[in-house]
Chains A and B, each alone.
Chain A
Amino acid sequence: MENKSDKPSEPCACQAGGEKSSRRDFLLKVGVGLNVVAGGLVAAPILGYALSSFAEKPDLQWIDLGEVDAFPVGKTRLATYDNPLRRSWDGATAEIPCWVRRKGDGDFTVFAINCTHLGCPVRWFEESRLFMCPCHGGAFYEDGSHASGPPPRGLYTYEHKVENGRLFVKGGILPTLANPNI
């Protein structure tokens, strides 16, 4: 309202007061614009850093689980490997366990330790030939298939190979339903 009475017609807009206010408007707009640009430039590395693990694909490597002969035929044994993607300050958490089943001579299956329900460590029971989970009562048969309880699928398995009498698995990630292929 006041503005209208101050600036009744066009020419007066060029007067001192009007000029100043349009200059301030301009500065405000430039300021906001520059900050949008600068803010974007600041946000890019911040988000890139914070979300790097969101986008990154892990580089899986072959891991030596040891001599094939360490795993007797017909048995399922716990094996432990050092996380290939470990950091020097990982400490205990780098020691990853897995279940190695040797059905025949060269017939191996390597299961992840994590129950497919909610990730707790399953235990092998030789006598009943079952993997049992201590959290919600999931059970799996010796071939990893679902036996009972809430797990939505059988145990996760590792890609594996035998070379020069040694067993290798590809690992380094935590298997989940979203990423069941270790």
Chain B
Amino acid sequence: MSEQPKSPPPVAARAIEAARGVFLWLDDRLKISNLWEHTAGHMIPKSSASWFYVFGSATLLCLMLQLVTGTLLALVYVPSGAEAYATLEYLTHEQPLGWFLRAMHYWGSEFMVTIMFLHMTQVFLFGAYKYPREITWISGCVLMLVTLGLAFTGQVMRFDEDAYWGLGIGAAIMGRVPIIGEQLVHLMLGGPIIASETLSRFFAIHVFILPGTILAIVALHLRMVLTKGINEYPKPGHVVRRETYQKEYDAIIKKEGIPFAPHGIGKDLIAASVVMGGILFCAAVFGPKGPTGPPFPSEIDVVPRPDFFFMWIFAVAALMPDWMESFALLAVPPVVILALFALPFVNGFGEKHWSRRPVAVMTVVLVYVAFGVLTYLGITSPWSPQMQAWTGDVTPADKVAGRSPLELQGLVVLQYKQCRNCHAIDGIGGHRGPDLADVGTRLTAPQLARQVIQGGGNMPAYGKNLSPAQVDALVAYMTSLVPSGEAPARDSTIPAEPQSKPTAALR
């Protein structure tokens, strides 16, 4: 110890000294430490270094990953109607690790949208949108819209049959706009029909316009976090007031503020690694999505479905009554967006904690339940006819056994006339119309004949398409579809048989 000051400094110490010199020189020129102090090192309330606060940085991480993987995919991908599909195939099967980068980009988008909505939910439930963070919230809403725009245009980059018909659905929605609908369709498609210019257009939007926009708005979003501070962890009973809030927040920072980096960033870093791990895991295990068949519009044997986060819209489009459909597709989104923008101005003060905001909690529950149910319905699509049911689906043995020749003839009509594309028997077949397994308990023979011939209640009329003999046979078969122990349907205008002779026992 006593000798040390006299001996020359060891190599390591001299190297550290030199590095310090270089850093100080750079810092003098670039003012890095100053920048750090005002950005990553900004003060946050200790309470905000919470697991609930990791979703924002995790979304940003996803964006960064998307920029990297997307740029790499663009090295190979050719956005041309004639080439895009071939380059997707090449990327998936021949380019080294091409399949993995495609998978990372696809799963990255799924993670990004999901985590973004978790972030939004957390911000909403924690009242972080309230005074004075209105612009933080609004810029976040714009980021959500841009992210969804990236997700939608990204589907088109996977230029397969789903992408082609997805564009068709987009154009059909545009075509419902009054007055300028036609022009909007042409603007969206880059011409009067879905073609190569459509893909070029969506490519430019997906890789230039929206990423540029999102980076600019992320900058604004983060700037707001720095100027107005991150939301303190809300406490029940703690009320936001215009007059006092800023003072209270400053006091919190003064009393228990910690620099975000390094003292508040630990949980964000752990979440970031979990997200990266999740994306890598999903990419490795589930691989990239598609491409499905090539985008030949003449290959009409397709079942177009959107990606996961648009499935609920797909379901809504099937379930809405006709009369409100154009209105709902065109007017509701702007209203919802305006409502989101207006939220911090309408509800900018008062309680922040979710336990004191039942309406907010119910809104979140409602939105999540609706999203979940609609997504499930979109995936199962019970309203879609099953195109192969009439050729592929079996008839359960107990729905054949013991039938008369006329009834069996009716079964053949039922199968051959494609009734089963919409009507299941014991759950086998389409689900657009009711299951026919017990139709004999619900409708009498005349009612069945009327329904078949005239249709109605969302069923086409088959009168022109069936001979009287076919209708007779079909009705005979359907009246036989009465599960044992149940009574067949009867005309309520005719007095019932005496109780002692239940008609169901005849069978």
Report which A residues bind B (CB closer than 8 A): 51, 53-56, 58, 78, 80, 83, 85-97, 113-114, 117-123, 125, 127-130, 132-137, 139, 141, 147-150, 152, 172-174, 176-179
Q: Closest 8 interchain pairs by CB? A: A176-B175, A178-B181, A91-B82, A147-B460, A119-B168, A173-B192, A119-B172, A136-B318
CB contacts (< 8 Å) of B80 on chain A: these are 89, 91
B275 CB to nearest A CB, Å = 33
The main secondary structure of chain A at its interface with chain B is loop
Q: Are B318 and A137 in touch, CB under 8 angstroms?
A: yes
Q: How far is the CA of A51 from the CA of B189 in the complex (A)?
A: 11
CB contacts (< 8 Å) of B390 on chain A: these are 127
CB contacts (< 8 Å) of A122 on chain B: these are 300
Query: Which of B81, B185, B197, B303 has a CB less than 8 Å from the CB of A174?
Result: B185
Total inter-chain residue pairs, C-beta < 8 Å: 206
Q: Are B460 and A54 in touch, CB under 8 angstroms?
A: no
Chain B residues numbered 61-80 whose CB sits less than 8 Å from any CB in chain A: 80
CB contacts (< 8 Å) of A136 on chain B: these are 314, 317-318, 383-384
- Which chain A residue has the least Cβ–Cβ distance from B82? A91
Q: Is B165 an interface residue, CB under 8 A from the partner?
A: yes
The main secondary structure of chain B at its interface with chain A is loop
Q: How far is the CA of A176 from the CA of B193 in the complex (A)?
A: 10
Chain B residues numbered 416-441 whose CB sits less than 8 Å from any CB in chain A: 416-419, 421-422, 432
Q: How far is the CA of A95 from the CA of B189 in the complex (A)?
A: 16
Q: How far is the CA of A37 from the CA of B460 in the complex (A)?
A: 62
A166 CB to nearest B CB, Å = 20
CB contacts (< 8 Å) of A173 on chain B: these are 192-193
Q: Are B301 and A54 in touch, CB under 8 angstroms?
A: no
If the complex has contacts A92-B85, A121-B297, A134-B387, are A53 and B191 also in contact, measured as CB distance less than 8 A?
Answer: yes
Q: Mark B164-187, 1 if CB is under 8 A from A, else 0.
A: 110011011111110001111111
Total interface residues on B, CB under 8 Å, equals 71
Q: How far is the CA of A125 from the CA of B386 in the complex (A)?
A: 12
If the complex has contacts A89-B81, A92-B81, are A97 and B462 also in contact, measured as CB distance less than 8 A?
Answer: no
Q: How far is the CA of A95 from the CA of B192 in the complex (A)?
A: 14
Q: Mark B436-454, 1 if CB is under 8 A from A, else 0.
A: 0000000000000000000
A100 CB to nearest B CB, Å = 13
Q: Mark B320-335, 1 if CB is under 8 A from A, else 0.
A: 1010011000000000
If the complex has contacts A53-B187, A97-B298, A121-B300, are A172 and B176 also in contact, measured as CB distance less than 8 A?
Answer: no
Q: Are B182 and A86 in touch, CB under 8 angstroms?
A: no
CB contacts (< 8 Å) of B175 on chain A: these are 176-179
CB contacts (< 8 Å) of B168 on chain A: these are 114, 118-120, 174
Q: Are B384 and A147 in touch, CB under 8 angstroms?
A: no
A124 CB to nearest B CB, Å = 9
Q: Are A87 and B183 in touch, CB under 8 angstroms?
A: no
CB contacts (< 8 Å) of B469 on chain A: these are none
Q: Are A54 and B187 in touch, CB under 8 angstroms?
A: yes
CB contacts (< 8 Å) of B85 on chain A: these are 91-92
